[in-house]
Structure 1
């Protein structure tokens, strides 16, 4: 016999947990609501599984349901997943695939598409995959994150964000009433000591010696690297550049919206040095591809690692993306060009719609002057003070 009686269940008023035995308990909420749960444990993992409202499920039936749940757990069957499947609520694993399929068309970076799914399938699905999205609570997510929180802090932070995205999707679909209590989860995790790492950048004072050094050897990696510096563009935008995007007569490079981080077309004014670079690239043009910087594999673009290798071979510990910071620092510290112009050159999103409209209408020619000044600085033509590159 259990500890509770039908009369005791009816008289229970104070909020709390009233145990009946073998994991079965009556839960009385602050508002007076009553419900049944059974606590089960398997392979060191403890879970509370709801059995229904006490107003609809009498004590005898609650005991029968609790026994059924315990039996299924021992057989390796997840009763919550079974119940969710019958109700049309997807498991976390199924929800991950649905969210990925819905969002993938809006993601421009193929690497991000693959990583988004791989991160969840590697670190979350093993522990959460068979559970209903309606049943996943803060405790389960916290335990999932804790496994890699200190060992792989950056991956863990991305995992936290992606799990929350899946759960928010479930809320929007009506599969659950609320999202995760992220502040509670964060407080329950140990403090990560690692600092956010910014892209390593070359000091702008070193650029006038660095750019000529790039040109000492004409390799595809160094040519692409020079284009990254002269255009202040992202390395991915340069690596995927096509001849059709270049207008050498008008001295412009138009990057289509689908390749831009902000999802908007970006026109880059080309300096005389950039035009000279693309004239040199004509000798490397290949019949089977329209890519300006083709990779070693037929029809494939240059890999990001090729640019990284070129930098390593030159003995500098910086990244290709870091040259955007170099350009931005040069504008701020060595010129009188307005910051809005530099932000427009970097294709950064401007929150003020009026300013954004003004930039689209008037800044191309001003940016042309800015990029010409930057290219001249890279050639050491502005009489600037130069420091020697560290060996």
Structure 2
């Protein structure tokens, strides 16, 4: 009976792992309706579960990053008291929020936080959420963060964008879109009225140059495709390690760094020679099927699959994968300026210069979004076999003997 409340400890919360059941949050009871929730992605938050009018209800209390165990227990106790009085904690929280809203004017910073909180479940990507928060914090808040959102006009928006529009164009264009969406949300909620001062068409487009006119295109340094075979041979002269295996696999699959270092065992069908990267791990938020060459399969098979390890390219600590610096350090030890992401350019140059494979096939291999959803689905399915032929040819090109690699052999098919 004494353990009905306060079952959890801070250490248990720190060490709590996601559920072994795919796509299912894990709930760990502290007692009295308070639970720790661990999402499949590993995010942790506190929930309060109760019954109101005979129906089960769930109320989110906050992330463990912003709410400690003692604070969560205090909130749970407050909510239990409300339930005992016949009141619904959800309704009471809305009422309290309304009281706060009417008690003070809402600032841009407050609206930005509320907007992100309201949409983060839809984004499903922690990196994307952090990019939103960081860009607002670094560039918007210093200028307009404390301004009442109803008073933000074109002059205020320009104070944010103009200093970085020509020097950090990509960041500035994304920031403009985020400010526009936050102000649009504030208008719908009723915190402001009138036109959106951050809109581009027929508005800021008259005050700022087109991004394409001022943006500095920065290409990722890449290995010349004609030297890729020698590069791989030189790389294997180093002491074997997870970074070398990951970098060769990245090269053979023309994948992004994040996709490779986060690769998980259950994504692979080694018999069918296919690696299926789930949508939530892809930049374009679409499932990507990667046909694997025989060498790519061998790389995966030669890595020991340890119990309770979900990552293929595992890190030094249990349950982690290698960092995004691991492969880069391999290239730096070789004295190269090239970066792992540049291998995608190496592959694309090879496909364009040395083969007759269609452009859209190479774009599909790079998981670039081509056309509408119907065309993209077509490329993922009916052209998987054609992409397999291309990736096998790429693997063969990467494994050319030294004498052949030194020549000017034409590998067009």
Same fold at TM > 0.5: yes
Distance in 2 separating the partners of 1:384 and 1:131: 62
Structure 1: tracts of 5 or more residues without a match: 1-83
**Residue 231 of structure 2: aligned partner:** 210
Q: Structure 1's 357 and 150: CA in aligned 2 closer, same or farther, altered over 3 A? A: closer
**Residue 266 of structure 2: aligned partner:** 244
Give the counterpart of 1:179 among 169, 176, 196. 196
Distance in 2 separating the partners of 1:212 and 1:106: 44
Displacement after TM superposition at 1:385 (Å): 4.9
Distance in 1 separating the partners of 2:260 and 2:129: 20
Distance in 2 separating the partners of 1:171 and 1:326: 47
Q: How many residues align?
A: 302
**Residue 128 of structure 2: aligned partner:** 112
Give the counterpart of 1:223 among 239, 245, 260. 245
Displacement after TM superposition at 1:152 (Å): 5.2
**Residue 300 of structure 1: aligned partner:** 320
Q: Structure 1's 303 and 338: CA in aligned 2 closer, same or farther, altered over 3 A? A: same
Q: Structure 1's 187 and 177: CA in aligned 2 closer, same or farther, altered over 3 A? A: closer
SS in 1 for 2:335: coil
Q: How does 1:61-80 map to 2 (within 5 A)?
A: none
SS in 2 for 1:254: strand
Distance in 2 separating the partners of 1:119 and 1:356: 31
Which range moves more in the overlay, 232-241 or 217-226? 217-226
Distance in 1 separating the partners of 2:229 and 2:258: 24
Q: Which has the higher contact order (CA 8 A, sep 6+)?
A: 1
> Is residue 265 of structure 1 aligned with residue 281 of structure 2?
no
State TM-score, norm by structure 2. Answer: 0.66
Structure 2: tracts of 5 or more residues without a match: 1-99, 409-413
Answer whether contact 1:85 1:91 (CA < 8 A) is retained: no
> Is residue 232 of structure 1 aligned with residue 248 of structure 2?
no
Give the counterpart of 1:364 among 376, 384, 388. 384
Q: Structure 1's 318 and 102: CA in aligned 2 closer, same or farther, altered over 3 A? A: farther
Distance in 2 separating the partners of 1:116 and 1:357: 29
Distance in 1 separating the partners of 2:208 and 2:363: 37
Displacement after TM superposition at 1:256 (Å): 1.2
**Residue 35 of structure 1: aligned partner:** none
Distance in 1 separating the partners of 2:391 and 2:303: 20
Displacement after TM superposition at 1:262 (Å): 2.2
| Larger gyration radius, structure 1 or structure 2 | 1
Q: Structure 1's 155 and 263: CA in aligned 2 closer, same or farther, altered over 3 A? A: closer
Give the counterpart of 2:154 among 106, 123, 138. 138
**Residue 72 of structure 1: aligned partner:** none
Distance in 2 separating the partners of 1:385 and 1:252: 32
C-alpha offsets along residues 126-155 of structure 1, whole Å, 9 cap, x if unaligned? Answer: 331222222101111212334555665554
Displacement after TM superposition at 1:87 (Å): 8.3
Distance in 1 separating the partners of 2:230 and 2:399: 8
SS in 2 for 1:134: helix
State TM-score, norm by structure 1. Answer: 0.69
Q: How does 1:21-32 map to 2 (within 5 A)?
A: none
Displacement after TM superposition at 1:267 (Å): 1.5
Distance in 2 separating the partners of 1:328 and 1:126: 41
| RMSD between aligned residues | 2.9
Distance in 2 separating the partners of 1:221 and 1:307: 5
Which range moves more in the overlay, 364-373 or 148-157? 148-157
Answer whether contact 1:202 1:322 (CA < 8 A) is retained: yes
Distance in 1 separating the partners of 2:360 and 2:261: 26
